[in-house]
Structure 1
Amino acid sequence: MAPPPASPWSLRSWTAPSALGPYSLRFFSVLWDISYVHPAVASSKNLRNATTAPVKASTTAAMGLKKIIESIQVPCSNTKYGCSMKTSYYERAGHETKCRYAPCFCPDSGCSFSASTGLLQEHFSTEHHWPFTKCKYGWCFYADVKEGVHVISSEDEQLFLRIIASEPFGCVISVFCVQPHDTEPKSRCAVTFSFWKNNSYHSQSSEFQAPSTTLSDSIPRDRFLFILPRFYIDEDSRICVTMKKDSGFQHEKTDTLGADCYSSLFSPKGK
């Protein structure tokens, strides 16, 4: 006896070929939702007398078409940025709203580069030569008070940008969390500045959330989070920066190291 014919719906996994674009898949999607109606049942006059066989057939065809659509695997639209995920057509939108490979953008006005945050960080260093610091949450590091962009990468590969802009009254400092989806801030930044010169002393500190951005509209210009008066800024000025997870401050590490930051910042220059 010959083996039974293989079911046309016994597909395990299809990968959508390049020729099968989103419009083709949408066409199949429309077909999925359309039920076949026999001409005999199209007329309301004949509805009671119509056989149910065409309805059963149309249901079987629709279920088969559904299985085909669900079997087609489509790549994430962020494939060119490094994502290797493939999902069903109907799951792709949900995946892409959370895909960590979704692009962020170079904020330089003359640059159109976009990529995942890992590649973007490399671009900042190799193409724009912006200073870079690898940091650990809860541990402080020093940075010069100079106008421009400073790239910061945390221990979990989160990308931050610290921006210093010059203003007539001094300079303003902003810190942004660069990530592919604008979400509620999950990181904080603590900044400390001290000045001691000719028996004149000034100190200020602040802690604030680092707003999330994709940089799609360049660097936000309305989020200045730390202001330094021009009177206290000179060519050797530095700030002490500590990145933190928003879940809380790592007291056991930062308190000790923070004391070192304060003691060195508060000491007269040259000592």
Structure 2
Amino acid sequence: CENGHMVCTTCRSKIKNDSCPFDRSPIAYTRNRVIEKLLESVKSVSCKNAEYGCNEMLGYLEKNDHEKACKHSPCSCPLSGCDFLGSSSQLYQHFRAQHQNSSVPFRYDQDFSIRLDAKNDKFLVLLEGRDDNILFVLHNARSNQQQNGLSISCISSSREARNEYKISVTFGSNNVSTLTFRSAISSSKKQLDNLPKLGFPLVPWLLDATDGRLNLKICIFKDRLPHWLR
């Protein structure tokens, strides 16, 4: 009933006038808070990401919210032809063991340089060297003959990862003019074709005229930008 009194199905069929036999309040199809509290107290449901390392035992009603934020949600390997699927931690270890030669090493809070073939390099995987268990991808989308669009994303199981990383990118070299952009880094569990694109447009005068490569100086900051970049 409206006050939470319960009866079984057999007894319900015997009740006349659709009124509660305990307090005469109307019987309706409402939330059964007693059963809800019982389900909340029983931690008997495993997370759907158990095969990727999640050991949480959950109450029935908290399962959905947990799985939306679960740090063991599966992520895809960014390399075409590799069908590995695992948590971001498992993906990092997989990539380091199987594809390390296909990555660019870096350290947080330290500048590192990349010469990007603006026409042919569709993406580069950035591998942090301190076992942070996060892969970063520099994605290069060539929109036309005059522009490229760059983005940097982290591949992470956690939707909170996008709040942890910031980036500074400088285009050019000592011999040409430079531009510096700053941005937060988005996160994704998807493959490269579905990564979000952050607009870092490139113009031809930033390319090395001899080979069409772009000189990039990148710094990835964890947690927040230093005061001199805000």
- The amino acid that maps onto 1:247 is R
Specify the SS of the correspondent of 2:41.
helix
1:243 deviates by: 0.9
1:106 deviates by: 2.6
Question: 1:159 and 1:170, CA in 2 relative to 1: closer, same or farther beyond 3 A?
Answer: same
Matched residue, 2:102: 130
- The amino acid that maps onto 2:124 is V
1:39-58 equivalence runs, <5 A: 41-44=14-17
Can you give the 5+ residue segments of structure 1 that lack an aligned partner in the other structure? Answer: 1-32, 53-61, 255-271
Question: 1:228 and 1:115, CA in 2 relative to 1: closer, same or farther beyond 3 A?
Answer: farther
Please list the CA deviations of residues 76-123 of structure 1 after superposition, one character each: whole Å capped at 9, or x if unmatched: 111111112212222222222221111122344544332111222233
Specify the SS of the correspondent of 2:61.
helix
Question: 1:131 and 1:217, CA in 2 relative to 1: closer, same or farther beyond 3 A?
Answer: closer
Can you give the 5+ residue segments of structure 2 that lack an aligned partner in the other structure? Answer: 24-32
The 2-side partners of 1:51 and 1:231 are apart by 81
Corresponding position: 1:189 with 2:167:
yes
Corresponding position: 1:160 with 2:136:
yes
Query: In the alignment, is the contact (CA less than 8 A) between 1:161 and 1:177 conserved in 2?
Result: yes
The 2-side partners of 1:207 and 1:175 are apart by 11
Corresponding position: 1:71 with 2:42:
yes
Matched residue, 1:244: 221
TM-score (norm 1): 0.60
The 2-side partners of 1:177 and 1:139 are apart by 17
The 2-side partners of 1:65 and 1:181 are apart by 28
TM-score (norm 2): 0.68
Query: In the alignment, is the contact (CA less than 8 A) between 1:134 and 1:154 conserved in 2?
Result: yes
The 1-side partners of 2:126 and 2:225 are apart by 23
RMSD across aligned positions (CA): 3.9
The 2-side partners of 1:123 and 1:131 are apart by 12
Larger radius of gyration: 1
Query: In the alignment, is the contact (CA less than 8 A) between 2:104 and 2:124 conserved in 1?
Result: no
The 1-side partners of 2:57 and 2:223 are apart by 32
Aligned length: 206
Deviates most, 158-167 or 87-96:
158-167
The 2-side partners of 1:208 and 1:194 are apart by 18
The 2-side partners of 1:131 and 1:67 are apart by 50
Specify the SS of the correspondent of 1:202.
coil
1:42 deviates by: 1.5
1:29-178 equivalence runs, <5 A: 35-36=7-8, 38=11, 41-44=14-17, 67=38, 70-125=41-96, 126-127=98-99, 129-136=101-108, 138-146=109-117, 147=121, 148-153=123-128, 156-166=132-142, 168-169=145-146, 171-178=148-155
Question: 1:218 and 1:106, CA in 2 relative to 1: closer, same or farther beyond 3 A?
Answer: farther
- The amino acid that maps onto 1:204 is L
Identity %: 19
